[in-house]
């Protein structure tokens, strides 16, 4: 018996903005870092088992920022807001005028 997930759940399209906003941890979410090989069958999915992944432990949405980034964005992936990094930097090269989504979470003690 294996305890590995059969499908790469962050790639199957099962998360969308509605389910992300319905998460009880939204907008901060509860980020959980894991080694892909510990969770997924990498032969099946073709992923690198040593790659680290960050998802919300409640709604499974992947985090926008990768673990390999020095200052990763802490919002859920595919977010319409500006990127917001763990250090509080707001990336301003992308503009999403008219967004009425909640303000970014307070990241003062996120680390």
- Residues of this chain that interact with Zn ion (CB under 5 A) are 23, 25, 29, 56, 58-59, 64, 73, 75, 83
Rounded to a whole number of angstroms, the minimum distance from the CB of residue 85 to Zn ion is 8
Q: Output the smallest distance, CB 47 to Zn ion, in A.
A: 21
Cβ-Cβ contacts under 8 Å for 98 (sequence gap 6 or more): none
User: What's the rounded Cα separation, in Å, for the pair 57 and 23?
Assistant: 10
Q: Which is nearer to Zn ion, 25 or 34 (CB)?
A: 25
> Which CB atom, from 25 or from 49, has the smaller least distance to Zn ion?
25
Of the candidates 19, 24, 88, 28, the one whose C-alpha atom is nearest the C-alpha of residue 10 is 19
């Amino acid at each position: 018996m294996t305890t590995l997930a059969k499908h790469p759940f962050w790639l199957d399209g099962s998360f969308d903005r509605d389910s992300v906003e319905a998460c009880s941890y939204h907008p901060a979410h509860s980020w959980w870092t894991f080694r892909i090989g510990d969770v997924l069958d990498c032969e099946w999915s073709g992923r690198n088992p040593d790659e680290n992944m960050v998802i919300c432990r409640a709604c499974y949405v992947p985090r926008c920022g990768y673990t390999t980034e020095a200052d990763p964005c802490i919002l859920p992936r595919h977010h319409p807001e500006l990127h917001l990094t763990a250090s509080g930097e707001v990336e301003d090269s992308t503009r999403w005028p008219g967004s009425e989504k909640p303000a970014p979470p307070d990241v003062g003690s996120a680390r």
